[in-house]
Amino acid sequence: MPKIDMTELTAVEAADAIARNLASAEDYTAACLERIAAVDGEVRAFAHIDPDHALAQARALDRLKGEGGRIGPLHGVPVAIKDIFDTADYPTECGTPQMAGRRPPADATVVRRLREAGAVIIGKTVSTEFAYFHPGPTRNPRDLQRTPGGSSSGSAAAVAAGMVPLAIGSQTNGSMIRPAAFCGVFGVKPSHGLVSRAGALTLSAKLDHVGAFARSLEDIGLVLDAIAGQDAADPDTRPYAAPAFSQAAVAESPMPPSFAFVRTPMWDKAEPEAREGLEELARELGARELDLPADADGAWPALRAIMAADMAHNLGSFADKGAVSKQFADLIAEGRAVTATQYLAAQRDARRYAGGLMEIFEQYADAIITLSAPGVAPRGLEATGDPVFCSFWTLTGLPSLNLPLLADDEGLPIGVQLVGAPGRDEKLLRTARALLDTLSNDG
């Protein structure tokens, strides 16, 4: 039997290899730990890693399988967790010295569901300070002199560097899709309310989403099957039928999907190579060019008002203690200056923008195609890049995917963002599958 290089496998492939006894959970976890030891000294994706504990989890899963116990869809697959999600067995420090050594008593819901699916929680990945803009130490594996994006910097970098096949992150503005684009991996920000945020650091109940990074679209479906669903501890979640995301990620579309090419009012912020690449892709797909509503440029200040006010309410006490970055302190001050009238108007506008988008999905397209970020990851580690191409879709709660389809002349990734109708995450995956198959068949 040929030896399998486990670190080259997708999560779907690895789970299948373990299920068919071609490898063990311990084999796979050990391979990932070896990879982490080899490359994380430079990439610095992990905030907390305990190899002995990770291997102990894997051995327990192997014993369970050997005894004929029930195995889940992620049995033996290592998953990394952004360090804003509570873990009972690892510290959760949220990128700030104010929480150094904090040990939560229980897992966040998403972590618990991953364990129930058989995942090995291999470690905690670096988050920017309070999941906002001030960067942590993580570097982009595609070019160590460039940012990996933020705030889910460590999770995106860990997947891109081949350290883990899956990682969990979060998005309040552009914290999933932007780092996925910069690091050249698949990323998903599900519909608002699809995945529970219980046990995660709360920035904004209106804007916070839980998502994942992966090496393939099939892996995105696999992890969504495990983590999606209603949770009484998160009132924004809602009942959902038995997950079928894995099926959607491989399903053959009964007819070619239609796409709307939406530049957004921020198109002038995109780099020339990104604009040209996406315009060429849109032409190849026969996408219909559509504009957002005439007043859509108000969405960006609306998101800023909601985010600043909510973070001031939820996290302002940390700023009052000091030992925070100027970026964070300034945001808290800004949030405290938002009036009730401004806040309520921003919430109203968010609902109006979301409602206005339904015409696109009902009459013109199965999905919107746009940029994930202005271009490739910027040079330097002092900032995390601009989330401007994510803000509208976060504000409106629509599901979105980063597809690593484009690159600049140096081979650095440029992300393509696919956006679907709210609550239609499975359809978005089917549409993405059709898009990837179309491009593959076109050579």
Report whether 394 contacts 350 (CB < 8 A): no
Q: Is the dihedral of CA 322, 326, 327, 330 positive or negative?
A: positive
3-state secondary structure 96-157: CHHHCCCCCCCCCHHHHHHHHCCCEEEEEECCCHHHCCCCCCCCECCECCECCCCCCHHHHH
Between the CA atoms of 23, 25, 27 and 30, what dihedral angle is there, to the nearest 10 degrees?
A: 160
- 3-class SS at 218? helix
- 3-class SS at 12? helix
DSSP code for 255: S
**Catalytic-labelled residue, pool 24, 151, 196, 391:** 151
Strands (E) located in 275-350: 288-290
- What span, in angstroms and rounded, lies between the C-alpha atoms of 164 and 77? 9
Q: Which of 222, 179, 112, 120 is nearest to 384 (CA)?
A: 179
- 3-class SS at 289? strand
**Catalytic-labelled residue, pool 153, 175, 372, 400:** 175
The amino acid present at 293, given as its one-letter code, is: P
Q: Is the dihedral of CA 323, 327, 329, 331 positive or negative?
A: negative
**Catalytic-labelled residue, pool 65, 82, 206, 427:** 82
**Sheet arrangement for strand 288-290:** 46-49, 120-125, 78-82, 166-171, 209-214, 186-189, 400-407, 413-419, 367-371, 259-262, 288-290
- What span, in angstroms and rounded, lies between the C-alpha atoms of 73 and 415? 28
- What span, in angstroms and rounded, lies between the C-alpha atoms of 315 and 346? 20
Q: Is the dihedral of CA 400, 114, 180, 94 positive or negative?
A: positive
Report whether 174 contacts 192 (CB < 8 A): no
Contacts of residue 43, Cβ cutoff 8 Å, sequence gap at least 6: 138, 139, 141, 144, 157, 158, 161, 163
Element (H, E) at 202: none
175 is an active site residue:
yes
The amino acid present at 390, given as its one-letter code, is: C
- 3-class SS at 332? helix
151 is an active site residue:
yes
Provide the annotated active-site residues.
Answer: 82, 151, 175
